[in-house]
Every structure is written in structure tokens, then in C-alpha cells.
Amino acid sequence: MTRAFLSLGSNMGDSLTLLRNAVDSLDGVVAVSPLYRTDPVGGPEQDPFLNIVVEIDTDLTPHELLGVCHRLEAAADRVRVVRWGPRTLDVDIVWMDGVTIAEPDLEIPHPRMRSRRFVMAPLADLAPDVAGADWREQAEGHVDRLGPLAAESH
């Protein structure tokens, strides 16, 4: 099994329910970060996001896990219209233990994770060893920690 971290975000529709449904449909969930309200980064003017990071143990290959991410987005009726635009659900692989990939359709570790506070704050909650001691100096943006995704969650 490989330790992996997924970043999930939503700012369209019932974001809380979309995030909960995505987490509930994932296999191998080890931990779910607290929920954060975050300012959008890049892209057009849009509403704030709700973001979490999920730790999983998986036997999937990186490309198989990417397929899972795309299926979760499709199940939430994600439509890709504007780069970094509003979305019902965005699921990214941010890190996998021992995996480095730089391909057109997949980069692990995620190339912009360290500069994004909406990824690093929840990642640091779950895995300070992965986030590193200096993540606060590198990550940009504003986040507000809201608390657990759901009391009954994993």
C-alpha cells in the first residue's frame, strides 16, 4: 500500500455535501483534514472554496488514482470551462510516498502545492512530515479553519 494525499475543493452547489460524498466514496481513507474556507487563487472572480485534504492508503498506480479523481469530479457534475474557474469539485493528487512523475497529464508531487495555503494548511494538519517545517513561509493565500468535515466522517 502507498500513502497518498488528495486535495479536494468546491465552490459551486452544495460544497459541503459534495466533499462529504467524495470522501465517503473513496477507498482506503486513513484521515480527513479539518475543513477550510479559502480564497480562490488565480482565475476569474468567484466565491470562496471549501477545501480538505484526505490521506489514503492505496494499491492503485498513480494513473489509476488519477482516474478515481476524475470519476469523483464527474460524479459531482464538474464541467471544465474556465481554467481555475468555479467548480463543483476539484480533486488533485498532491503527494504519493516514493512517487515522482512529470507527465503532461499528471505531476506528482503536485507542482503548485507548496505555494498554495489551501493545500498546505490541511496537509500540515494530517502530515507535518510531508508539509515540512517551512510551509507557512512558502504558501500564499488566506484560509479559515472551520472544523471537522463531519462528525460521522472517517
Active-site residues, by number, are 78, 87, 90, 92
- CA–CA dist 120, 110 (Å, integer): 11
What is the identity of the amino acid at 21?
A: N
Rounded Cα–Cα distance for residues 10 and 13 (Å): 8
Nearest to 88 by CA among 97, 80, 96, 78: 78
Check if the beta carbon of residue 76 is closer than 8 Å to that of residue 147: no
Query: Which three cell numbers mark 124?
Result: 500540515
What is the C-alpha to C-alpha distance for residues 38 and 47, in angstroms, rounded to an integer?
9
